[in-house]
Amino acid sequence: MQPLQLAGKLFYGIGIAGIGVLQFIYPGFRPVLLPIPPEDTQHLNFLVYLVAAILVIAGLFVAFMQQVKPVAHGLGIFLMLFVIAGHLPQRLINHPGILGAWTDALKLLGLAGGAFGSMEKIALCGPYFFAVMLIVFGIDHFLYTDFVKSLVPAWIPGSLFWTYVGAIGLMGAGLAILIKFKPKIISLLLAIMLFLWLVVLHIPRAVVAPVTDRANEWTSVFECLAFSGMALLYRRYS
């Protein structure tokens, strides 16, 4: 396996394991897994810790082991169950027309696609899940411009400009993955963009986040790391 694919495998696995670790530290399910406030599920400790253990074990296995296909397959199905049984009913009942409300559901769909991307027989659905997530998030940048530009660090000038650059980058990468246009260069550029966001935006926000944040910013850190890894892994389909 090439160095970039090894890095992608490592990033994705650690990202998944990191989300699991957060469930051991903070009460309740992470919102990316279930669209319910964490405090409403903190009494389900056995289930919360069981899911956390599965994510940690599966994530570390994917990150560091060689033959990961059976585990990746199981992880993909596991994450899809949360999408179908957890997020989908809530989203169809509560404001289905608000695109921003689908954020966590699409993140989880993308993460499931990363797991399925490791399986040769069903690898096709993985990039499509990821591509749809990227395109919708790019559209979100245009719909929720004021919020997105507030995420740009104050020391970087031109927050609105970078908001639009991010939107175009996400939508362009998603469309390129769908039509398989220049996958090697597009996936590398996407991985670099996401990793830069991880270092410049997500990690600093997580470090200074208040206790009341309940590790939402750290969840974003591990999600972004996983997505950066997924971009590197999709180079194999070129």
Is residue 57 pLDDT above 60, yes or no?
yes
Q: Is residue 156 within 8 Å of 162, Cβ to Cβ?
A: yes
Q: What is the mean pLDDT of residues 69-80?
A: 92
The Cα 102–Cα 152 span in angstroms is 22
65 token code pair: 């082991």
Q: What is the mean pLDDT of residues 159-172?
A: 97
The Cα 179–Cα 174 span in angstroms is 9
Q: What is the mean pLDDT of residues 119-141?
A: 80
Q: At a CB cut-off of 8 Å and minimum separation 6, what does 111 contact? A: 15, 16, 32, 79, 223, 226
Is residue 119 pLDDT above 70, yes or no?
no
Band of pLDDT at residue 69, cut at 50, 70 and 90:
confident
CA 141 to mean position of chain CA atoms = 16
Q: Is residue 230 within 8 Å of 14, Cβ to Cβ?
A: no
Q: What is the mean pLDDT of residues 99-125?
A: 79
Q: Hey, where are the domains in the chain?
A: 3-237
Band of pLDDT at residue 183, cut at 50, 70 and 90:
confident
The Cα 106–Cα 137 span in angstroms is 9
